[in-house]
A = this chain, B = another copy of it.
Amino acid sequence: MTNLNEQLHAARAAAQVIAAMGSEAKRALIHAMAQALADGRDAILTANARDVDAANEAKQNAALIDRLRLNPSRLDAVVAALNQIAELPDPVGEITHSEQRPNGLTVQRVRIPLGVVAMIYEARPNVTADAASLCLMAGNAVVLRGGSEALHSNLAIAAALHGALAAHGVPEAALTLITDTDRERIRELVQAQGLIDLVIPRGGEGLIRFVTDNARVPVIQHYKGVCHLFVDASADPALALKLLIDGKTTRPAVCNALETMLVHRDIAATFIPNAVVRLRALGVQVRGCPQTHAIYAGVVPANESDFGAEFLDRILAVRVVDDIDQAIAHIQQHGSDHTEVIATRDADAAERFIHGLRSAVVMVNASSRFSDGGELGLGAEIGISTSRVHAYGPMGLAALTIERWVVRGEGQVRHG
């Protein structure tokens, strides 16, 4: 307890140092961090091999081992990502609003860092470098608690990054890696009121639920991505098929992949057979409602639980709907507020779809796979929020800051 508490106090103190750094100093720091990773490549890959060997011995599943594994090209990608983050516009100091009040006061809203941001995540060791650089670029100290299976990789990455911090006169505590893998430490971390300003959990639903249930500091939640494609009666079938194939098959395991397709009954008889043939050719299992089955008998009958499921795999649930309102109602009931897509040539239908849904991202005639901070223009992404507080959808650097008020006067008082 004391140990974590001391670490968090040191992080809080370091946050003041980072917050006071100018944009150019931060850019130089992040570039130096990228270089330190490149220079430390051998040590990092050796440490990672140790984690991967242990995971293999423990017979972890292949997906976890894949997320855990670093190799020269993946490490190059991390280095490139850091160099890109170093060149993003600095949100700190941005004046988002400015006005003069009738009494002569000048009122501004100006972005400042959040303070200390905690990231709690699982197997991917690249998060250690990505998240650290995003938090630091936005002027925050960062506390990282990665998964036990990636401990040696994370230690090696943090050692390299600490070298860059030291060379730039930044206290090591600005990037604090929690190495105690006991889950109790997560509980203490998320209850550290006054020391942690925001917790961002990234990982499975179990981790996110544990954090939410125990937290006494603010948490940005990202439960899951159950993304829907609605093929409207007026859709261009070729366009809809393109969105379907891109959304379902290019990376089925990510949160912006499609999980369910809803098809307007007026287009179902022609669209569904084409779609099923294409999907099957790409190894996707289609689980259809009774109407889908009636149109194309070869599909697997869907259970009710298939609607709303995050398969993260080459499986797609398909349902025929009577109209757009039924599509909207289906998504409201089964969706996860992440990303929904409509394929349509009817502008009114598009507006109805947008306004009927409260998901974080709504797309008209575009692939769900664009629901990503980089693709939407944020430059990088620290997470995707599905709770409608602070940030909603992909979160970039600005989501790691907050607007505060700066007021300038000439002696104004309220009851003069």
Contact residues of A with B, CB < 8 Å?
A: 16, 19-20, 99, 101, 105, 107, 112-115, 193, 197-198, 212-213, 216, 218-219, 236, 239, 242-243, 245-246, 250, 332, 350, 354-356, 358-367, 369-371, 375-377, 387-394, 402-416
Contact = CB atoms under 8 A, between A and B. Distances in A.
A407 B361 contact: yes
9 contacts: A114-B388, A197-B388, A218-B389, A242-B411, A361-B404, A361-B407, A364-B409, A375-B414, A392-B403
Contacts of A245: 413
B404 A367 contact: no
A388 B101 contact: no
Nearest to A347: B408
Contacts of A405: 360-362, 371, 376, 392-394
Given A19-B358, A371-B405, A389-B390, 20 more contacts: A101-B377, A114-B388, A115-B388, A193-B212, A197-B387, A197-B388, A198-B389, A212-B216, A236-B411, A239-B410, A243-B411, A246-B416, A250-B414, A350-B408, A354-B406, A364-B408, A364-B409, A370-B412, A392-B404, A393-B404
Contacts of A416: 242, 246
Contacts of A375: 101, 414
Contacts of A242: 411, 413, 416
Q: What are the 6 A-B residue pairs with the smallest beta carbon separation, nearest first?
A: A366-B409, A246-B413, A239-B411, A218-B389, A369-B414, A390-B390
A416 B370 CA distance: 12
B408 A366 contact: yes
A296 to B, nearest CB: 24
Contacts of A371: 405, 407
A365 B243 contact: no
A117 B20 CA distance: 36
A308 to B, nearest CB: 13
Contacts of A404: 358-362, 392-393
Nearest to A364: B408
Contacts of A246: 413-416
A365 B114 contact: no
Contacts of A412: 365-367, 370
Contacts of A362: 404-407
Contacts of A213: 216
A338 B362 CA distance: 37
A387 B216 CA distance: 12
Given A115-B358, A415-B246, A415-B250, A402 B377 contact: no
Nearest to A389: B218
Given A212-B216, A389-B402, A365 B410 contact: yes
Contacts of A19: 358
B388 A392 contact: no
A258 to B, nearest CB: 12
Given A193-B212, A405-B394, A99 B365 contact: no
A402 B220 CA distance: 14
